[in-house]
Amino acid sequence: MTNENVKKQDDIELIVYEGALELVKDKVNKALSAAPLIIRKYTEHLMASTGKYIRAVSLLICAQNRDGLIHPNAISFAAAIELLHLATLVHDDVMDNAGIRRGKMTLQKKYGKKTAVICGDYLFSVALKIASSVSNKEDYIKLNMPDYISRVCLGELNQHINNGYLDISTYKYLKIISGKTAALFEASFCAGAILSSYDENGRLEQSPDSNDKTIRKYMRLGRHIGMIFQIQDDCMDFEKTEDVAKKPVQSDYQQGVITLPLIHAFKNMLGLKEKARSKELTREEVSIAVAETGGLDFTHLIADKYYKKSLKLLDELDISSDKRSKLLYVLDKAYGKS
């Protein structure tokens, strides 16, 4: 760490926010580039398509203490969560037979599905290794990383089981994405909240009830933001071009994934679901049906409800105006305002 990125507090080198994200990226890139030789070609391919690190950014913001400084363990947890997210994307691309991710050829397209599955599994193990390498592990009991991984996996499995199920309800779909997407956002906010609560001696507080309540508020905020992120992504499938989205669009229905705009259309357009059952519904007809029934307006309305809940939670948190503005930026980013 460079001197301008760290400040001493007792025996702990605290990190300034401005330099923290680069440290996370360095840790992720090192994990990918230093993989065992047998898998390195594939992990290096993934380095070319890393994303915007929004989960890592969220964790780092939440981890800021009253002075705006960050505990070094935040770097490890943020890197671990980004690697977990990357692993889920690798597996997603296999399940969806996707050829493009973030504007680059997917791992499964270039090297095959079996290789991609194994690489995704490897990334899970690396993420857990990084997370377990932090000091004072006993301070992070609330951050149950294996539990979050299982929630993501169960969310993916739930989506797969419901693949092509035309009668899926709004409630059921929201439950699926609460695991598939929102769980890692919740994990990011949970880790950051825990790390922000160490005392003036550089030790984490002993989780009094008030601190537990604060951590739970951060967790709910992260979960809401994750829901917004996925719901808005559902809209992107209808609203954006492939050049903008950096991935195939108008493809969810073709993959059997019935998202909120189409759930609304099925409910409000007579005969649409029957046509889908007979395999006669085209992609163009799906887009027209979603537009005519106000499927996107309906979906944005649900996202707006989560947005308002998030604003309420932000107002309840006892944080600095700078930290609030940073968290608001993340919320707006998920919502599509920035």
Calculate the dihedral angle through the C-alpha atoms of 233, 49, 60, 235, rounding to the nearest 10 degrees.
Answer: 0
Q: What is the pTM of this model?
A: 0.90
The pLDDT, as a whole number, for residue 67 is 87
**179 neighbors 158 (Cβ within 8 angstroms):** yes
**14 neighbors 3 (Cβ within 8 angstroms):** no
The pLDDT, as a whole number, for residue 190 is 94
- The dihedral region occupied by 105, where left means phi > 0, alpha psi between -120 and 50, and beta the remainder, is beta
The pLDDT, as a whole number, for residue 322 is 95
**101 neighbors 137 (Cβ within 8 angstroms):** no
Q: What is the pLDDT along the chain (338 residues), one digit of tens a residue?
A: 444 555 555 567 889 998 999 999 999 999 999 999 999 999 999 998 778 899 999 999 999 998 899 999 999 999 999 999 999 999 999 988 888 887 889 999 999 999 999 999 999 999 999 999 988 777 777 788 888 889 999 999 999 999 999 999 999 999 999 999 999 999 999 999 999 976 555 566 655 445 789 999 999 999 999 999 999 999 988 886 555 555 555 678 888 889 999 999 999 999 999 999 999 999 899 999 999 999 999 999 999 999 999 999 999 999 999 999 999 999 999 998 76
The pLDDT, as a whole number, for residue 72 is 93
Domains of the chain: 3-335 (1.10.600.10)
